[in-house]
Structures are given as structure tokens and as C-alpha cells.
Structure 1
């Protein structure tokens, strides 16, 4: 049985959800960003206990099909931007359509309607946050970051970074108090 969980955005989230499942004696086959597959069917009582435990841990068990689809879109974007080491070389619209087996126009309209922002803006927000992280770690220069994040040039990266943050990448690197946002708060 598959369960869909909102606000799972990192490996720590996966561990926390695993702990909640174990507390209830539920056996999981797979725990991934936004989705859990358990071996048994869950009783309404256990479902409520799980729902309460997840809320206490900062998550939400989802029942609504549209909310589940929105969460799947978010999780695919988070996975691609924050948890993939390979450079981003894909067309997100084609990738989302293929992964979710839905027309991109439908996905984009649903996302905009429910989230109040576009998929493109959500992706840009996450890419900017990932760039901040890479700049803070100081392991890659701006050219390498642009390549890794799938930008056509450093100028394009710099322009988008400044548009979103108000700072140039080099100015951001010079700041002593580099502000980053938790993944689950990006694009909200």
C-alpha cells in the first residue's frame, strides 16, 4: 500500500518517517521523498495514529489526489535540484510529464492554481537556493556552478540570481551572514 506524505524533502525526513512507521509496527518496503510503500493494509485507527505522529514530526499524510500530484511535482524538482550530482541537462517539462504520466499543461495549470506560483518559478527558487549552498561550500567556482545547474552561461546564472536575491553571486559570496532557506520553505 502506498501512502503519500507532504513535506518530506531530505534524507533526515525519510529517517523521521521510518521512525514513525516503526513505532506503529508498520513494515515498509520503501521510504522515499513524499511516498512510502508499506507491506500491510492500514486500519483506519492506525492511519489516524500515523497521521497524528506525522503531524507531530512536521509532516502531513495526504488523501487528496490533486495534493498528492502537487507533492509529487515538488519532490521530483527537489530530487533533481538538490540531490542529484550530475549536471542538470534535462527539459523539466518533458521530464515531469514522463515521470508523472500527465500532460505538462495540465501539471502546470494545476500547480499554479494550487500553489499560486508557476512550476518554473518553483524550479528557479530551488536552483537559487542550491547555488547559495554551492557558493557557501566554496568547492566550485561560478562557472562550474552554472554548468552544474544547467545554465547556458555565467551571465544567465548571475542575472537570474540577482533578480531573485537582489545580489550578484560574487556579492553573495562576500557576505558574512549568508542567508539560506530550508528546502521545505522554498516556493511556498
Structure 2
């Protein structure tokens, strides 16, 4: 004997998601098919439990490939900026393209789309963060810091530092020294 049935895949998927997430005791919201929003950040164990529960039904958690690429871009930039020899040797756009095997235009487009900022702006922010770290934790002059971060001059570093932080590097140094004296 045969019977013909009709499937409502959306209903079935939502029912499976609901059943599994309820069993795990997680607070969530089903935004639309293919997207679950959790009310809190999940621990690594909770994510693993969700993956296992979903895998039983052929449901897979997908990482947004664009977000993954943006994180890779950030990591490569951080690595490059943190290594003075490398940063003097390579042009950032060429280095990114070579390391990630995409054209710089594509990388720039994805980065801007996901972060609402440019790669160039991210590079400036990372350089200023590193400059602040060097001012606080190392005994380098501003000239040495500018050289280490591949700035053409102390004036260029100072201009970007002030534009980013609202303070000149010298003013930042004075504030840090005063705070260290108080502690």
C-alpha cells in the first residue's frame, strides 16, 4: 500500500530547530529560515551541542564566509603591522592579496561591506593601537615608534594619532606618565 504525502519543509525545519534548541535549554529566536538568533553569546560547549543536535537532522551551522574573510584580513594586517621588518618590506595591498589569494579590490569591497569601514582605516587604527602600546610599555622615542610603524615622519604619526585619539602622542605620553606616578 502506498500513500502520497506533502511536506512543508519550512514547518518541518522550524519544528526540528525548536525541538532541539528547547531540549538544550537555550533562549533563541527564529528570525527566518536559515537564521537563529540566540539571546546570549553561546559558550564553545553550547555551540558544539547545537552542532551535534542539528547534525542528526542534516542541519549544518554555516559561518558567513564574508565574516570569516574579514577576520582573516584583520589577522593578516595585525601580523604585518606587528612585524616592523615585514611592514617595511611589503605593500599592504599586495601582501593581503598574496596571503589571502584574492584581489585587493575584492578584499576591500568585502571588508567595507561587512565592517562599514575601509581596510585603510583599520590599518590606521591598528597602528595607533600599537603606538599606544609602545608608548605605555616600551621606552621608545616617538621617532623610533614612527620608524617601527613605517610612518614617513613623526609629524605623520602625530597627525594620525591626534585624529584618531584626540590627543597628540606627547600629550598621551604625559597622561600615561602621570597615571603611572599616581599608582
Same fold (TM over 0.5): yes
Any unmatched runs of 5+ in structure 1? 1-44, 53-60, 179-188
SS in 2 for 1:140: coil
In the TM superposition, residue 49 of structure 1 has moved relative to its aligned partner by: 3.9
TM-score with structure 2 length normalisation? 0.61
Unaligned runs of 5+ in 2: 1-44, 53-60
1:87–1:147 distance in 2 versus 1, CA, 3 Å: farther
Distance in 1, matches of 2:50 and 2:85, equals: 35
Aligned to 1:139: 139
TM-score (normalizing by structure 1): 0.60
Assess if the C-alpha contact under 8 Å between 1:87 and 1:150 holds in 2. Answer: no
Superposition deviation, residue 107 in structure 1: 0.6
- Give the structure 2 partner of residue 88 of structure 1: 87
Indicate the SS of the match to 2:85. Answer: coil
- Structure 1 or 2: more strand by fraction: 1
Is 2:48 the partner of 1:48?
Answer: yes
The aligned counterpart of 2:118 is 118
Distance of aligned partners of 1:155 and 1:85 in 2 relative to their CA distance in 1, 3 Å threshold: closer
For residue 86 of structure 1, report the CA deviation from its aligned partner: 3.1
**Aligned-residue CA RMSD in angstroms?**
2.7
Distance 1:75 1:114, change over 3 A: same
Check 1:148–1:100 CA distance in 2 against 1; reply closer, same or farther (3 A cut): same
Larger radius of gyration: 2
Larger helix proportion, structure 1 or 2? 2
**d(CA) in 2 for partners of 1:124 and 1:98?**
21
Q: Are the counterparts in 1 of residues 112 and 118 from structure 2 also a CA contact under 8 Å?
A: yes
Greater RCO (CA < 8 Å, at least 6 residues apart): 1
Matched, 1:77 2:38: no
| Structure 1 pair 74–51 and aligned structure 2 pair: CA distance change class (3 A) | farther
Residue correspondences, number: 125
